[in-house]
């Protein structure tokens, strides 16, 4: 079974600061997704990363993928309160099954 680990599990950061969330996975995959989940809400797709070296950016969030290291990062630039949420990465195996990480709960403090 494919294992997906995120760290940190909890992140409290001040507005205006930068930080990175890490997503490691255990077996070969060439597709990785990042999702956002607000409290009591469902999941919203943020990024799809399809190949080694892929980088995508949307606003203050930038995601990258290193398939050789089996690592993806979600970088937050100059955090604002609206970014407070739980962020999940999900990896797809060769059978097209999605495996989600443990999630990173982000709180941005004014």
Applying CB under 8 A, which of residues 3, 17, 41, 81 lies at the interface with other proteins? Answer: 41
Is residue 64 within 8 Å of residue 48, measured between CB atoms? Answer: no
Q: Which stretch binds other proteins (CB under 8 A): 11-19, 68-76, 77-85, 93-101?
A: 93-101
* Dihedral sign of CA atoms 60, 49, 9, 42 in order: positive
* Distances, alpha carbon 73 to alpha carbons 61, 78, 109, 110, in Å: 10, 16, 22, 24
Site for other proteins in 4-23 (CB under 8 A): 4
Interaction between residue 99 and other proteins (CB under 8 A): yes
Applying CB under 8 A, which of residues 50, 55, 78, 109 lies at the interface with other proteins? Answer: 50
User: Is 2 or 80 the residue whose CB approaches other proteins more closely?
Assistant: 2
Interaction between residue 98 and other proteins (CB under 8 A): yes
Q: How far apart are CA 16 and CA 92, in angstroms?
A: 33
Interaction between residue 3 and other proteins (CB under 8 A): no
Pairing of β 104-109 and β 10-14: parallel
Q: Which residues bind other proteins (CB under 8 A)?
A: 4, 30-31, 33, 41-45, 48, 50, 88, 90, 92, 95-103
């Amino acid at each position: 079974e494919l294992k997906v680990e995120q760290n940190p599990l909890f992140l409290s950061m001040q507005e205006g600061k930068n930080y990175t969330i890490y997503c490691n996975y255990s077996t070969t995959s060439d597709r990785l997704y990042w999702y956002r989940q607000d409290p009591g809400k469902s999941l919203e797709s943020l990024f799809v990363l399809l190949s080694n070296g892929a980088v995508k950016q949307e606003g203050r969030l930038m995601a990258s993928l290193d398939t050789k290291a089996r690592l993806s990062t979600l970088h937050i630039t100059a955090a604002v309160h609206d970014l407070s949420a739980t962020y999940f990465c999900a990896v797809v195996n060769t059978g097209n099954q999605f495996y989600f990480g443990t999630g990173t709960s982000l709180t941005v403090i004014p």
